[in-house]
Amino acid sequence: MTVQATMTKRRKESPSTSRVDELPAHILRSIFNRLRFNDLVQAKSVCCSWNLLGDELTSKMPWLMLPSKKQVEEDDGIKVNNNGYHGFLNLKENRLYSLKTAPKEFSECCCIGSSHGWLVFLQEKAVPFLFNPFKQLRIELPSVDRQLGLEKMDIICHRNHLYALSDKNSIEVWDLHIGGNHVKKKSDFVFAFPDKSLAKEKSFRDVCTSGFYLVESCGDLLFVVRFIGDYVDWDGTLLHEQDHLTQDSNHPKVCPYRTFLFHVYKMDFKELKWVEMDTLGDRALFLGRNQLASVSTRCFLNCEKDCIYFSDDCWERIDEDYLYGGHDMGIYNLKDGSLKPVFEFSSDKIQPQPCWVIPDPAMFES
């Protein structure tokens, strides 16, 4: 029986004769895990227990929020300006679901990130609010400084300490236990920038920039370094300026800037140093304007293990040219160093920039 037929049958039955909502939870979960997204959304309307489980499963999926593919490609970046988000990429099905009617928040406000399934928007006069796109819930927040939402300094709470990226390529640590209601910087507890990444930065100084992230994964503190080439072939090969200028028509297309490499380190708290990781095991990382997340691929079955899913968060370059910006997204395999697209546009100007929407990973750890 199809989901639609089940719904029709359920409406005709009286509450006293229906047995739909008495189906054992483990059987219902097994069935729901096999449904396509559209069927799952329809199934949520059958009864309360189906709705609760449907909410859990739809919020469990990582989504990539995207603007209209048609408008982006037709305008080729020239007229694309705050046209809003119009769809969500479902990684489980590798399918884009378009919104028939997009919430006004998507076109009237600026999305500056996401956290635990909620989007963070700025409206006029830099007034922020939270918005849940799947439940259509909105929470107003106090005003903030206009520049706050456009600056990137990662900070994370780990083991009752705050770890923050500093301007000197190091990690500062603030103790939450000292000083009563105040936090205190531990001046003798600053982690140096990893030597390998520092050497790589110096060797690429004139042809790339770097991004830095702090992520908690399975109780460990991870430091991720992202290398973004000014000019990179589609296969991920970094080009120097002279290579770009001497290209002929037979060469692969060159993107203005593109991520080509990641380094990942784990903090050794006994030795107080960063230890390089050559594999993430069964974990996957999500990096971008979203909350930085490490998820278990045993729970997020649609995610590839040992991979980094990334989107464009190069704020200082996104709006420097109408021909490109927002395009730098993909999937990087840490073990073999390979890159592949997560979703492709024919234009290099994607506005607004794609953004990951991910629930709280801790809710689904195994």
Which pTM value belongs to this model?
0.78
CA distance 120 to 15: 41
C-alpha distances (whole Å) from 366 to each of 243, 263, 278, 283 are 48, 26, 23, 12
Asked if residue 175 belongs to a domain, the reply is no
Domain range for 40: 3-60
User: Among 262, 249, 251, which Cα is nearest to 331's?
Assistant: 262
Last residue in a domain, options 140, 163, 179: 140
Asked if residue 179 belongs to a domain, the reply is no
Contact criterion met (CB below 8 Å) for 68 and 41: no
CA distance 310 to 18: 46
E strand or H helix at 14, and its extent? Answer: none
Asked if residue 173 belongs to a domain, the reply is no
Asked if residue 174 belongs to a domain, the reply is no
- Claim to verify: residue 291 and residue 319 sit in the same structural domain: yes
Rounded to 10 deg, the angle between the 25-32 and 48-60 helix axes is 50
User: Among 211, 327, 328, 339, which Cα is nearest to 263's?
Assistant: 211
- Claim to verify: residue 339 and residue 214 sit in the same structural domain: yes
C-alpha distances (whole Å) from 80 to each of 284, 289, 330 are 32, 20, 21
- Claim to verify: residue 198 and residue 285 sit in the same structural domain: yes
Asked if residue 172 belongs to a domain, the reply is no
Each residue's pLDDT, cut to its tens digit, for the chain (366 residues) gives 555 555 555 545 444 445 666 778 788 888 877 776 667 767 777 777 787 777 666 666 688 888 877 777 776 555 555 557 888 887 877 778 777 677 777 877 778 888 888 888 887 767 889 988 777 788 998 876 544 444 457 788 888 788 888 766 677 888 776 555 666 666 656 677 899 998 998 888 778 888 899 999 988 999 999 999 887 776 667 776 655 555 555 554 556 788 999 999 999 988 888 999 999 999 999 998 877 888 888 877 678 999 999 999 888 888 777 788 889 999 999 999 999 999 888 888 888 889 898 875 554 444
Last residue in a domain, options 42, 60, 78: 60
Asked if residue 156 belongs to a domain, the reply is no
Last residue in a domain, options 80, 106, 140: 140
Asked if residue 157 belongs to a domain, the reply is no
Contact criterion met (CB below 8 Å) for 143 and 120: no
- Claim to verify: residue 207 and residue 273 sit in the same structural domain: yes
Contact criterion met (CB below 8 Å) for 223 and 265: yes
Task: Tell me what percent of the chain is helix, strand and coil, each rounded to the nearest 5.
Answer: 20, 35, 45
Helix (H, G, I), strand (E, B) or coil at 364: helix
- Claim to verify: residue 222 and residue 342 sit in the same structural domain: yes
- Claim to verify: residue 267 and residue 318 sit in the same structural domain: yes
**pLDDT tens for each residue of 212-227:** 999 999 889 999 999 9
E strand or H helix at 27, and its extent? Answer: helix 25-32
Render 140-160 in DSSP notation, one character per residue.
Answer: E-----TTGGG----EEEETT
**pLDDT tens for each residue of 140-180:** 988 765 444 444 577 888 887 888 887 666 778 887 765 55
Residues in contact with 190: Cβ distance below 8 Å, sequence separation at least 6, in sequence order? 166, 170, 171, 172, 173
- Claim to verify: residue 197 and residue 277 sit in the same structural domain: yes
- Claim to verify: residue 33 and residue 101 sit in the same structural domain: no
Contact criterion met (CB below 8 Å) for 258 and 344: no
- Claim to verify: residue 85 and residue 25 sit in the same structural domain: no
- Claim to verify: residue 51 and residue 81 sit in the same structural domain: no
Residues in contact with 93: Cβ distance below 8 Å, sequence separation at least 6, in sequence order? 36, 37, 302
Q: What's at 10, amino acid-wise?
A: R
Backbone angles phi, psi at 39, to 5 degrees: -65, -35
- Claim to verify: residue 237 and residue 213 sit in the same structural domain: yes
- Claim to verify: residue 203 and residue 335 sit in the same structural domain: yes
**Structural domain total, the chain:** 3
Asked if residue 149 belongs to a domain, the reply is no
